[in-house]
């Protein structure tokens, strides 16, 4: 009996994860979905901290 409850829980959680993956907008850290304009009039989509490179 407990195995059926566990199987049902795992099935529901996997369906939930797949639907979230398909329908939610995923992004990368520091990348904006909507571009924004700075005071100088330049349009950006990345945050300022993305300019620092690790060398």
Range of the domain at 25: 2-51
Tokens of 42: 């330049």
Buried b (16+ CB within 10 A) or exposed e, 17-52: eeeeeeeeeeeeeeeeeeeeeeeeeeeeeeeeeeee
The pLDDT, as a whole number, for residue 2 is: 92
pTM for the whole thing? 0.46
Instruction: Look at residue 4 in the predicted model and tell me its pLDDT.
Output: 95
pLDDT per position as a tens digit, 8-55: 999 999 999 998 888 876 666 667 677 878 888 888 777 666 566 666
Report the pLDDT value the prediction gives residue 13, as an integer from 0 to 100.
96
CA distances, 24 to each of 18, 33, 44 (Å): 10, 12, 23
What domain count does the chain have? 1
- SS3 breakdown of the chain: % helix, strand, coil, rounded to 5? 45, 20, 35
* pLDDT value for 26: 61
Q: In the prediction, which pLDDT does 55 show?
A: 62
């Amino acid at each position: 009996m407990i195995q059926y409850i566990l199987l049902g829980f795992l099935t529901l959680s996997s369906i939930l994860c797949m639907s979230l993956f398909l329908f939610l907008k995923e992004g990368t850290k520091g990348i904006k979905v909507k571009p924004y304009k700075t005071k100088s009039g330049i349009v950006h989509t990345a945050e300022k901290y993305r300019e620092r490179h690790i060398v």
